[in-house]
Structure 1
C-alpha cells in the first residue's frame, strides 16, 4: 500500500441506543420485521432512544494519529467499537484497509484458559499473520510485555496490568496497518505508559492510529489531529493545530465544585481577580494578573500565610504562589485584604482551578494550623494566540545569537 493512502474512511456514521432494555428488545423485533420487508435505512429516534454517535465523518492516512477526546459518555468508545466491527452502525459506513489491530477493552480477544503465549498466536492469526511471522515476533512481544516468567500461565490468572501489557505488546509488535486504542492504557505504572506512548510514536510512522485518552499532554504529544466529541457529535475537528480542540475539552470537563476545610478562625470572605468578582475569570497568556483576597481575622491570630495553587483539569498542581516563600509578612486583623500582583501570567492556554489556603504563622516562623482552605475557589480560563500543548507553563526568555 502507498505511504499516503487513506486507510480509514468514515462517512456519516450514526448509532442509537435505547435507555430501557424491554423497550430496546421490542424496537429490535420491530426493526427485524421491517428489515425483512425491505424497509432499511436510518430511522428517527423513538421514545427512550438517544444518539450515542451521530453523523461522524473523517479520513485517516498512514502516518497520521487521530485522538478522540471528550467527557465520559461523549460517544468515543462506541465509535471505536463500530470501527473495530464489534457493533453495527444504524447509518453511515466505515472503510478500513489492511490489517486492523485493536486494544479496546481490558483482556478483550484473550481466551482466559489459554496461556499468554497461546493467546499471542491466536491474536496474530486473527490479524492475518502466518505462524512463521508470529514466530519471528513472539520474543519481541514477550520482552515488550515484561511478563516472561508468566507467559505460559493462563491469562485468567493475570493482573489487569499484565493483560494490558500483553494486549498492547501484541497490537504494537505485530505492526498492523490500523491500530485502535481505547483508554485501557490508563491501567499500569507510569514507566510502562511512557514505553507504550514511545512505541505509538514509532508506529505512527508506519500505520494509522486512532486513540482515546483523557490525558491531554499524552494526546498532544502523539496526535496529528483531534476530534472533540460531545453528546455523540463532533464539536471540534482540528488538524495540526490541536489547541482549539484541547481548549474545548478543558471547557467541558474543567468545572470542579468548591470545597472548604479549616478551623475558620481566619476566614476567606471573597476573592477578586483583575478587580472583578465571580466564579469564572478570563485572562490572556503573558498578561498581568492581580488577585485580591479579602479576609476576616481574629485577635488571637497575629500572622498568617496565603498560598495560591493552580490546578489543571486533571487535578495536577502546575503553579503555586506563597507569601511564606516570598518572605512577605501578613498581619491579621478584624477585616483585611491582601493583594497579589503577577507581572506576567505564564500558564499555557487552557482552564485552571485556583485553590486558596490560609495558614497560621507560629512562633517558629513556620506554617502551622490550617485556618481556611477553599478548593476551586475560582476557575481561570487562559486565552491567547499561541499554543504549545506539551507544557502547562510557557516561560519568556531573552534571546540572542
Structure 2
C-alpha cells in the first residue's frame, strides 16, 4: 500500500508512506507506485495512533448504577463504585469493556493503559481484563495496572491482593496514597508498591495526591523511591492535583527532585476539572496539575480521560481531542506552538508514559500504525475539531469516517 501526499506530525513537506506486510517500509517524498493500492491524502495530517494514558475500563459505562454521584466528588464516586462492584460478573465486564474499546477505536485510539480495581477478594475484574487484553489485541493494545481503589493498607488483605494481581498478569503496580487512612499508611503503600514492582520487573502508575489538600505529599515519596531504586521513567504519577494547591516555595524544592527522578506524569483534564475544587466556595481551584511547569522542568506529561460514563464522570466520551482541548484551556497553554504541538500529550509523550520504546511511531521498520485527520496540521484539528478520517493498525484499516456535509440555506 502507498499513502501519498501526507503531512506527517505537522511537517510542512508532503511525504509518501509505503507499507509492506503491515510495516512502514519507505517514507520519502514522491515515491513511485509499484502495482499497489494507493491512498492519496491530498495534504491531510498523519500522526501516530492516539494513546489513552489513563482510564478505568472495568468501571466504564456504569454511571447511575445503582445510584448517581450527586456531590460530584471523588469520594462519593468511590462509594458509588463500591456499591456497583457487588453487581459485577464476567459477562457484565466483557460487554461494557468491548463497547468502550470500540468507542475508543472509533476515535483513533490504539493503545490503552487501564487501571483495574483489585480491592475485590475474587479479583474478578482483573482476571476478566487479562482475558480481554488477549481477545482484543488486534483492535487495541491494552496495558493493565493493578489498582487498589480502596487502598493497600486500608483494605483487608490489600497487599496480598495486589501481589496476586501481579501473579495473574498485570503489567504494572498501582497505589492510592491520598485515600489511605493515615499518612503512615500512605508512605507504606508507596514503598510496598515500589518493592512489588521491583520483584516483578513491572511498571508503576500511582494515583498520586488526587485531592485539593496541600498536605497530600505522596509525590515526594514516589519520586524519591523512583530515584533511589533507579526505576525512574518506569514510574508514573497520575493526577497529582494537590500540586495545584502547593505553595511555590515547596514546589521549588520538589521540582528539583522531580527532575532528578525522571518520572512521568498523567493529567486528566476533563475529570480533574470536574472532581476537584468541590469543597471550595470562591475562588474555586481548577485542580489540574502544573502541566506547563512540569514540561519546563524536563518531566514527561501525557493526558488521559480517566473515566467513561461511570461514578466519577457522567458523560460517554472517548475523544482524545476533547481531552487536549480542555487541557490547553485550563492549563493556559494557548500559544500557537503550544496548540500545534499538543498532539504530543496523546501520542509521543503518552508512548513514553507507557514505556513503549522505539516500537511506537511513524518510522521505517515499525508496525504501520497511524491515524489520518481531516486537516493539514494539529492546530487546525484542535481549532476546527476536525474528524478522524482513518485509523490503520499494522497496515490494516480499522476505522474510516465519512465527514458530515453541512449546507447553510441563507441569503443567496
Q: What is the TM-score when the length of structure 1 is the normalising length?
A: 0.31
Q: Highest CA radius of gyration, 1 or 2? A: 1
| Greater percentage in helix | 2
| Greater percentage in strand | 1
Q: What is the TM-score when the length of structure 2 is the normalising length?
A: 0.30
